[in-house]
Structure 1
Amino acid sequence: MPARRFADFENEIKRARDLVGIGQSLSSITNGLVGGEDHFRSALVHAVAALDAYVHGVVLDRAIDILMGRLHVAASSKVGLSFAAIGKIMTAGPPGSAAVELSARTYVAERLGLETYQRPDDIGSALAMVGVPKIWSTAFPVDAYTRKTALGVIVSRRNRIVHQCDLDPLPGGTTTPITSSDALDAVGIIESIVKEVDIHC
């Protein structure tokens, strides 16, 4: 059952590709005097953010469906809500009402906001928590390790960009090069992963 969040993900992936296009255009119209590298970095970061937002959305939607009794899963699922939050959800209105669902969505979203779902194992654990077990071996029965490794490399680069200005860790502090192809490859890998994962969500 494809997730309701896939269309939003596709919109964000398009924005990531548009950032690459802006960088390419900028470099082209200035004859290379102004490079588009920072736009390429932004595209890579945005693609990872799109993945993270997609997984958060799927986990939130499925968690609410579980709480509201619309989805039954065999997994022992936990999101770590406090007793106070559970009490507020239960007293928000009559069982099954829109008020209860809105309250549940608010508290679960707040709790999930403490997590990041970018690294392969974190994504796998998050989806298993809401009844989608073993997503990597299920979605990629032949090349799960390769897909997980590729995503891990992209997420590591994303972290270097946002936490270390993409500086080379070796002495000298030069910025690690990035091309439009590097960015488009990262965007494409993330999109292909989410397309396959979405089939099972």
Structure 2
Amino acid sequence: MAARRLAGFKAEISRARDLVGIGQSLSSITNGLVGGEDHYRSALVHSVAALDYYVHGVVLDRAIDILMGRLNVAAPSKVGLSFSAIGKIMAAGPLGSADVEMSARTYVAERLGLETYQRPDDIGTALAMVGVPKIWSTAFPQDAHARKTALGVIVSRRNRIVHQCDLDPLSGGGATPIISADSLDAISVIDGIITEVDRYC
């Protein structure tokens, strides 16, 4: 399942790079009169969305495998389903049937939809919940702190773009500058992290 999630992630990362390319082309054909900054911002936001999409998918797939008895994990796992949801899953058919699995997938996906998996610690907690413990120190034994810090900076910038229009309160309300390299670097960091993390999922 993780391989399928990685392919989807790679497709979205490619779309983020395409957004940067559109911004660069727009700036080039207008001799800089129209800048590509909003495309660069969109690309950065999209790369974080691709990360979140990937982690949600892996957590969902592994949670269903645990519920269906296909995956045993040593750590206690929980996704916080209501008793009502559990009752509906159990009533969907014989244990192990496709109907039960579809019902479980529906309710677990709905529950996971309340979470965001963008910050490094949230990603680590989510993956540990479904049997992938200590992902940062496992995937990045030499530089886990540096990778987490780099991702945290990108997510903070994403949040400023999404929630504050990337406006800099210290400059009298002007937008925080961004160039194509900023977005391409962010995309590369996220791509590298997920490519390595996927080896353990």
Amino acid at match of 2:68: M
Cα distance in structure 1, aligned partners of 2:16 and 2:32: 21
Paired residues in the alignment total 201
- The answer to whether the aligner puts 1:76 opposite 2:70 as a matched pair is no
Indicate the residue corresponding to 1:109 in structure 2.
Answer: 109
Are the counterparts in 2 of residues 2 and 200 from structure 1 also a CA contact under 8 Å?
no
Cα distance in structure 2, aligned partners of 1:85 and 1:49: 27
Are the counterparts in 1 of residues 13 and 47 from structure 2 also a CA contact under 8 Å?
yes
Amino acid at match of 2:122: D
Indicate the residue corresponding to 1:89 in structure 2.
Answer: 89
Are the counterparts in 2 of residues 5 and 57 from structure 1 also a CA contact under 8 Å?
yes
Indicate the residue corresponding to 2:198 in structure 1.
Answer: 198
Deviations 1:136-160 (A, max 9, x none): 0000000000000000000000000
Indicate the residue corresponding to 1:166 in structure 2.
Answer: 166
Pairwise mapping of residues 49-198 of structure 1 onto structure 2 (< 5 A)? Answer: 49-198=49-198
Indicate the residue corresponding to 1:41 in structure 2.
Answer: 41
Q: TM-score, normalised by structure 2?
A: 0.99
Cα distance in structure 1, aligned partners of 2:169 and 2:134: 35
Cα distance in structure 2, aligned partners of 1:91 and 1:75: 27
Indicate the residue corresponding to 1:11 in structure 2.
Answer: 11
- The answer to whether the aligner puts 1:26 opposite 2:42 as a matched pair is no
Cα distance in structure 1, aligned partners of 2:60 and 2:3: 11
Q: TM-score, normalised by structure 1?
A: 0.99
Structure 1: segments with no counterpart, 5+ residues: none
How far is 1:171 from its partner?
A: 4.9
Q: What is the CA RMSD across the aligned residues, in angstroms?
A: 0.9
Are the counterparts in 2 of residues 3 and 58 from structure 1 also a CA contact under 8 Å?
no
Identity of aligned residues (%): 83
Are the counterparts in 2 of residues 75 and 131 from structure 1 also a CA contact under 8 Å?
yes
How far is 1:4 from its partner?
A: 2.7
Amino acid at match of 1:183: S
How far is 1:169 from its partner?
A: 2.1
Cα distance in structure 2, aligned partners of 1:2 and 1:15: 20
Are the counterparts in 2 of residues 51 and 194 from structure 1 also a CA contact under 8 Å?
yes
* Bigger Cα displacement from structure 2, 67-76 vs 165-174: 165-174
How far is 1:3 from its partner?
A: 3.9
Runs of 4+ in 1 over 6 A off after TM superposition: none
How far is 1:170 from its partner?
A: 1.1
Cα distance in structure 2, aligned partners of 1:168 and 1:15: 27
Cα distance in structure 2, aligned partners of 1:62 and 1:83: 21
Helix, strand or coil for the counterpart of 1:5?
helix
Cα distance in structure 2, aligned partners of 1:56 and 1:169: 33
Are the counterparts in 1 of residues 119 and 151 from structure 2 also a CA contact under 8 Å?
yes
Amino acid at match of 1:176: T
* Bigger Cα displacement from structure 2, 1-10 vs 179-188: 1-10
Deviations 1:28-54 (A, max 9, x none): 000000000000000000000000000
